[in-house]
Structure 1
Amino acid sequence: MGSLQPQTRSTTRSTAQPWYRKSTQQTMVDLHTSTAGLTPEEAGSRLLRLGPNALPAKAVEPIWLRFARHFNDVLIYILLAAALATALMGHWTDTLVIIIVALINAAIGFFQENKAEKSLAALRGMLSSTARVVRGGQKLEVDAGELVPGDIVVLRPGDKIPADVRLFEVHQLQVEESMLTGESLTVAKHTEALDHEAQLADRSNLAFSGTSVSAGNAKGVVVETGTATELGKINRMIATVDETETPLLRQIAQLGKRIFQLIIGMMALLFIIGFFWHDYPLGELSLSLISLAVAAVPEGLPAIVSIILSLGVQRMARNKAIIRKLPTVETLGAMNVICSDKTGTLTMNEMTVKHVLTANRFYGVGGQSYEPRGRITLAGATEALDWTAHGNLAAFIRAVDICNDSSLQRDEDGRWTVVGGPTEGALKVLARKAELAPVDVRRLGKIPFDSAYKYMARRCDVDGESLIYLKGAPDVLLNMCQQQLGADGPEALDRAYWEREMSHIAEQGLRMLAAAYRAVPGAGGEIAHDDLHQGMVFLGVAGLMDPPRPEAIEAIALCKQAGIQVKMITGDHPDTAVAIARMLGMGNDLRAMTGQELEQTDDAALQALVMHYSVFARTSPEHKLRLVRALQANGQVVGMTGDGVNDAPALKQADVGIAMGIKGTEVTKEAADMVLTDDNFSTIANAVREGRRVYDNLKKTVLFILPTNMAQGLLIVMALLVGAVVPLSPLQILWMNMATSTTLSFALAFEPGEAGMMRRSPRKAGESILNAYAVWRVLFVGVLLTAAAFLLEAWMVADGQDTDTIRTMVLHTLVTAQWAYLFNCRLQDQFSLNLALLRNGALLTVTLGLILLQCLISYAPFMQTAFHTVPLSFSNWMVALGIGVLVFFAVELEKLVVRRWKASKSA
């Protein structure tokens, strides 16, 4: 054998003719091989030169590095710097507590987020482990990883195809390719070269790595292996897709940077004022500035964000949606476009007969999927059929039931499944729905289906009558028939009638299959093609479709109401896709953009066009990825659903990748952010509702935590400006931020969703979590708490109280006021003490927890030693409670004023 030409690797073949356009002879010549296969020596040489038929493994980050990444935050930097400073000053207790706080934050993020990428490993698992090959004229079974271009492979029913193969010998080969192309039907293969450019789903003389043989046998020559296969291209796309940062993470990072800048600026200014103006000792001034840094950092925020997201994950899991990455929960609330695969996502991925056309009537067939439940009725009627008046319909159903190699069965979970092709299975379901009287059938000779002649025939004895049944493409069968079966028996074929009525079926996006029969004199059992060209009687046509999921129709309507666009991206035929889209309620004036049109459109033009189309058909994996990126370029927060390997790159690129859990491949699940365990599109709408609830609660949490940090910071700033003693120590500030703020804000995670949240538009992805009103609220409450604390401190100083008592009381008062403010945060605009308060039992739980914690820090001797606190009297508790009640009503009054001001502005 000669050396292999460079063009056998698709990555180096940019202008060469594709394999599906070459004849089998030319393919053999280009690959320097023959039907006898390569010699073992040549196969070994090519393996060394081209590498194994495998997908490359991706290096996995060590655990320590993944843990260390959780310290990569500007707020954590401030804490670590404060820990270092206190250590240098010898304040080891402060140092230890600060480090523990940082470790707790990192641990929560590490253990509640699993960021390990398994999608590439799952793709490798999809490759066949062994392959039957012909080498040197001998049939061998070899490891699939040892296949090379030029190898001759033998394919049998049930085989997983081990590489991309150009077929040269085919016997009724049917291949299941939906995981790669999105096409719902098995694909009949042939050997002839194609004379035109073809999309992946239309390359019917190729068999692709990772797909499986449903029926028939074949031989082919390997043309691509490893990363050069279509599966390998998807692998490369997944590997090159960068992780997208969610809107929440962007906002939290931006908030952290702003707080960092503010802290650095304030510390520099206060150092100058304290050192040069008030002559503070350097040690005391440094400790005060560390107190400021610790006070201003909302160190509890990362922990509580992770906890709220984790609780959202748990709620979604109970509602059939598994979240793989915590920030995805919040991103769902900002999602404004869902790009959905059709087959198996919006549809059942189970072919169903919807209509039957006979010579005199048009029938509707009820039911969904493979479950044999549904009525057959006259079009427009509801009553069951009297079969004595519909003999030609019964004859059609009998024909497609007997001339059929599939079977219907029920699995362990009670779901109905088909053994065999989905189209034949749908006809078996039709026969079960009809419940015809049983007949005695003896099956004899058969002509299997072949794409070359597009029909299947069977000779059989039915209740002693010898018949030939014929099933296949309507146009082919019409050419073979001279008569049709009418209400009173055979009559002359009315071809114009059939063509007219079938055009109406085609307009609905349905696939069609026809049946015919004739009586055969004699007792022979064999059958030949010549027996089918005389005396055949046309029985009728079935219209089949992969039906929309009923729940998907409702979910799309809910998405529209919530301001979310739904776009269908499928590998299926454009007419079928548009018909399904209409049934799903995606619109009436719909037109599909095809994969070929996509390829002729540059990225700039696509960015404009993508917003105007709702259906994209005959797409490849590259097209799906381009569409998601084009939508993101328009500022859209994109969700992408899918179940096949072909969806995996786009799922990873999308802001929210959504995989089907039942029918989805492992590759898709591992590339996704969310997995639907019920494969139910409506679960997405419920997930969006939960995402919006989670974001609302996160925003309430931020508005709850930040005013306290601001009050603490202002206390220290004011003390340094006037030259007074700082009212709180760094440890007391840490206690307030972690032990109390985090405890209290936990209750907001359980707040129920506010009324009407699914009737509002998705928030803008770039919208800050702190809008102008939120900033005002933080300033207002922060100043309110600071004023309360300063007035209290001034009163206690005037009363001659010692420093530890003052600090303990200021700490307790701020905690109590914060607890009161918690109730204000339940609703941003409305009065907070409503009936929904009773639905949140966490409010009572955190209140009791807060009382226990404050008793601990005030009365436990070891806590008094560590935090420099003293016991508080009952009157101290009442004073703090009174201040908290005043804070609550002050904020509610502010909400009332703002609400009326907004109403007057909109009037």
Structure 2
Amino acid sequence: MSTQWHTMKTEEVIQNLETDPEQGLSPETAGQRLQDYGPNRLPEGKKRGPLLRFLLQFHNVLIYLLLAAAVIAGAMGEWIETAVILAVVMVNVLVSFIQEGKAEKALEGIKNMLSLEARAIRGGKRQTLDAEELVPGDVVQLQSGDKIPADIRLLRVKNLRVEESALTGESTEVEKQTEPVDAQSVLGDRTNMGYSGTTVSYGEATGVIIATGEHAEIGRINQMIAEVEEKTTPLLRKIDRFGTLLSGAILVLAAGFFAFGYFARDYELEELFLAAISIVVAMIPEGLPAILTITLALGVQRMARRHAIIRRLPSVETLGAVSVICSDKTGTLTRNEMTVKEILTAEQDYAVGGSGYAPEGTITTAENDREISPTDNQALQQLLQCARACNNADIQQSQDGTWQLEGSPTEGALVALAGKADMHDFRPERINTIPFESEHKYMATLNQLDDSRVIFLKGAPEKILELCSQELAADGPRKLQRDRWLSRMEETAGRGHRVIACAIKSADSLEGIEHDSLGADFTLLGLTGIIDPPRDEVIDAIAEAKEAGIRVIMITGDHAITAHAIASQLGIDTEAEPVSGAELSQMSDDDLLEVVRSHSVFVRTNPEHKLQLVQALQKNGLLAGMTGDGVNDAPALKRADIGIAMGIKGTEVTKEAAEMVLTDDNFASIIHAVEEGRTIYDNIKKTITFLLPANGAEAMVIIAGMLLGMTLPISPVQILWVNMVSAVTLALALTVEPMEQAVMQRPPRGANEAILGPEFLWRIIFVSLLSGGLTLGAFSLVYRFGWAGGQLETARTIAVNTLVIAHTFYLLSVRRLHGSSLTRTILNNPISFMLMGALVLLQLGFTYLPFMQPLFGTAPIPAAAWGLIAAAGFGVFVIVETEKFLTRQLRR
């Protein structure tokens, strides 16, 4: 077990590290420890060379299917089709190769977060050292703007505030001190520690290094990222399983047919081999991998237009399958902009409109929502003056119209509040200041107001109340009702608000102010309730997620009261109380599995807690998405079924560990991406349900023809033609099929649900038999019964056209998986009709062009044959729609 430095007194820390807070380590001791502990840098991970990374891109079931199709096409002498398929393979491989290696890049991103130099005391001398030379026991000095070079235990601090979002995910600065804290404290509560990679935002400090390199907290996260296993997307798992089953079925069927023909029908070996090859060619959907790739690529483009950038192509549909989304609070569910939402004076409560740092919004009475002017109430007016004058922050409007903060978020919220009351320019002359210090928890300014001087005071309400003897009412100051204010403070804090109190005192005779001379005769002006408000659009997005059967879990470094309040406003389930990181650390694996099923708010979490929660959800059989922006989120993002990084405020480490990056840092964009993901999966199912009946019909025609002792009704080269033109025309129409109605009212797919369930397998078999039977009947009508001349070439040409046109009409039906195609929505994809027209032109060329006839063994057919072919196609549409209707009735 590692030493818990945060639980020790500073004297114990110094003693255990055998160092001196004034002299530091001697150069000799530091040199020896550098040999013992190694340089203060993260270890280099094993890297795969470019050649190996390139070759590994071929290890993909989609690529295997393409290569198999290319080999078979080459064996049949179709070199053009072979070249096209191989070109598709190379495009897939190159795209994957360029996007590959995100784990290695994530580790590199973490290394860039480390400090390069540090000020340390060695042998009693203050000197600047290369950060890699630092060792445990080194005494370092920090000041505002410094990046902390290693994990340190603080020895002395002066108004120290550290920005730790890289580790905790929360952007609020942490006030630091030197006293021991509880052993169970999570990282965000270890206020006597400084961690490598975090930044000093204010103040100064001296600390002693307790861990460097891989032993520091950021090194642990680095190791967690490296150890998280790469996962396969649900789509690739299903395609892999589907491809394996399909390949096995094809081989078994071809071998069985070969054996049957050899032993039971006494066919020649050459003829049997040709028939077996024909079955294999017929049953492999050569166009499927390419169509899948196109469907995913188009989905990537649509998602990009909705603020979601997909980094790995197969991940594009994963969001459509997730059943739970774990989200960080700050900046994703909320604006990450502190906002005053309520004001409490002695006699009136006010609600404040607007959000963020924009000085836009109204101040209304809480009881009747009546807009008021600050001049209507003396206490309100002076509170707003105090909020603006006793303040070191400012807000400025940038060129793009957004308001940018300069200074503390809490003070920025008060400046924005003053702006809403047209007091942004209230800046009376400041004569003297007592800056905010964590020890005193308040800020005071001595200001010149016209002919008088006043002291404005703001800070923690419990401290301000100690300095107040009066409260300001409508008719002037009166005795402070302390108990009532304490009760109102608790109520406001219970709503998740950070409470800031404001007070005032006349000071005409003073030239300066100090802590000791402030006195306790201030007049309390009131309280302000400040919170990082939820994004308005997120509330609707979470409601839509619930309707889609997706559970939203909040995992945050914030405190329980604030997290619970925000979760309630957002519509996240809050029946169960928030669970803290400290509680998670004490749970068994079984308890953790139960907790993630019943709780939706987790607070004060460490990086390993987020990873554990994702793993527990997955062990429960759920597909989990995870959002994040800090390096602390990277391990969980990498482990989740789909990691979602924030594009604006997210670190590079987080983006490299994620599959998806939000360009607007908005949870609502995730729900939009879920819609796209579900649509993409629907279109993939439609594509498979469309292509496989053509393959099944071709195989059925060949097998039935051989069993009946007929010549092959369709030749292998004609089979390749059918598969090729179906893929590049009709199947392509399904890649741009719009979203079906009620797609977000369906529950998420099961993690192990087959890509084609029994209903769709039945439809594939049904349509294969239907279109195959019509094709075989058309061939027999010509070749066996002599219609239209009775020639083999004519019979095969009519058979091929019957199969293609039947499949063309089937496209109209398969465009709606879950409902009837006999609605106006059949017209909402004009591209499908354009591609159907293109297919008809291709078939006319296949039939009548002189140079095509010797290539494919075709012959011109009479006009009457087209009437028969069209009737067969229309019959397929009517019969399939009837089957879909009866199936829906039976399901109900």
Structure-1-length-normalised TM-score: 0.92
Query: Taking every aligned residue pair, what percent have the same amino acid on both sides?
Result: 47
1:564 to partner: Cα distance: 1.4
2:491 to 480, 486, 504: 504
Which whole-Å CA distance do the structure 2 matches of 1:661 and 1:437 have between them?
Answer: 32
- Aligned twin of 2:538: 552
Kept in 1, the 8 Å contact 2:338–2:410? The answer is yes
2:91 to 107, 117, 123: 107
Is 1:889 matched with 2:873?
no
SS of residue matched to 1:272: helix
2:386 to 399, 410, 419: 399
Which whole-Å CA distance do the structure 2 matches of 1:677 and 1:77 have between them?
Answer: 34
1:197 to partner: Cα distance: 2.9
Supply the AA of the counterpart residue of 1:895: K
1:584 to partner: Cα distance: 1.1
1:607 to partner: Cα distance: 0.7
Q: How does 1:431-830 map to 2 (within 5 A)?
A: 431-436=418-423, 441-525=428-512, 527-587=513-573, 589-798=575-784, 799=786, 801-830=790-819
SS of residue matched to 2:346: coil
- Aligned twin of 1:7: none
Alignment length, in residue pairs? 885
Q: How does 1:102-501 map to 2 (within 5 A)?
A: 104-105=88-89, 107-108=91-92, 110-111=94-95, 114-117=99-102, 118-436=105-423, 441-501=428-488
Kept in 1, the 8 Å contact 2:120–2:127? The answer is yes
Kept in 2, the 8 Å contact 1:214–1:421? The answer is no
The answer to which of 418-427 and 437-446 deviates more is 437-446
Kept in 2, the 8 Å contact 1:108–1:303? The answer is no
Supply the AA of the counterpart residue of 2:713: P
1:602 to partner: Cα distance: 1.0
Kept in 2, the 8 Å contact 1:75–1:299? The answer is no
Which whole-Å CA distance do the structure 2 matches of 1:896 and 1:173 have between them?
Answer: 71
1:840 to partner: Cα distance: 0.6
CA gap 1:520/1:478 in 2 versus in 1, 3 angstroms = same
CA gap 1:81/1:648 in 2 versus in 1, 3 angstroms = closer
Kept in 1, the 8 Å contact 2:309–2:661? The answer is yes
**Structure 2 unaligned blocks of 5 or more:** none
Which whole-Å CA distance do the structure 1 matches of 2:54 and 2:170 have between them?
Answer: 42
Which whole-Å CA distance do the structure 2 matches of 1:900 and 1:581 have between them?
Answer: 41
Is 1:854 matched with 2:843?
yes
1:71 to partner: Cα distance: 4.2
Kept in 1, the 8 Å contact 2:65–2:289? The answer is no
SS of residue matched to 2:435: strand
- Aligned twin of 1:8: none
**Structure 1 unaligned blocks of 5 or more:** 1-13
Kept in 2, the 8 Å contact 1:169–1:218? The answer is yes
The answer to which of 551-560 and 717-726 deviates more is 717-726
1:255 to partner: Cα distance: 1.4
Kept in 2, the 8 Å contact 1:167–1:218? The answer is yes
Kept in 1, the 8 Å contact 2:388–2:427? The answer is no
Which whole-Å CA distance do the structure 1 matches of 2:559 and 2:16 have between them?
Answer: 33
Kept in 1, the 8 Å contact 2:153–2:207? The answer is yes
Which whole-Å CA distance do the structure 2 matches of 1:189 and 1:162 have between them?
Answer: 17
Kept in 2, the 8 Å contact 1:715–1:727? The answer is yes
- Deviations 1:197-225, CA, capped at 9 Å, x for gaps: 31110101111122222211222222222
Q: How does 1:55-70 map to 2 (within 5 A)?
A: 55-62=42-49, 64-69=51-56
SS of residue matched to 2:735: helix
Which whole-Å CA distance do the structure 1 matches of 2:60 and 2:429 have between them?
Answer: 76
Kept in 1, the 8 Å contact 2:416–2:424? The answer is no
The answer to which of 492-501 and 655-664 deviates more is 655-664
Kept in 2, the 8 Å contact 1:574–1:617? The answer is yes
Supply the AA of the counterpart residue of 2:85: V
Kept in 2, the 8 Å contact 1:156–1:216? The answer is yes
1:803 to partner: Cα distance: 4.1
Which whole-Å CA distance do the structure 1 matches of 2:851 and 2:314 have between them?
Answer: 39
Supply the AA of the counterpart residue of 1:383: R
1:861 to partner: Cα distance: 5.9
- Aligned twin of 1:6: none
Kept in 1, the 8 Å contact 2:57–2:96? The answer is no
Kept in 2, the 8 Å contact 1:94–1:730? The answer is no
1:865 to partner: Cα distance: 4.9
Supply the AA of the counterpart residue of 1:811: V
SS of residue matched to 1:327: helix
Kept in 1, the 8 Å contact 2:291–2:727? The answer is no
CA gap 1:667/1:871 in 2 versus in 1, 3 angstroms = farther
Supply the AA of the counterpart residue of 2:588: D
- Deviations 1:643-668, CA, capped at 9 Å, x for gaps: 22222221222222222222222222
Which whole-Å CA distance do the structure 2 matches of 1:427 and 1:584 have between them?
Answer: 24
SS of residue matched to 2:340: strand
Kept in 1, the 8 Å contact 2:120–2:138? The answer is yes
CA gap 1:876/1:156 in 2 versus in 1, 3 angstroms = farther
2:829 to 817, 835, 840: 840
Kept in 1, the 8 Å contact 2:470–2:478? The answer is yes
Kept in 2, the 8 Å contact 1:193–1:205? The answer is yes
The answer to which of 550-559 and 718-727 deviates more is 718-727
Kept in 1, the 8 Å contact 2:645–2:658? The answer is yes
Structure-2-length-normalised TM-score: 0.93
Q: Give the root-mean-square deviation of aligned CA atoms.
A: 2.6
1:149 to partner: Cα distance: 2.3
Which whole-Å CA distance do the structure 2 matches of 1:75 and 1:320 have between them?
Answer: 28
SS of residue matched to 1:280: coil
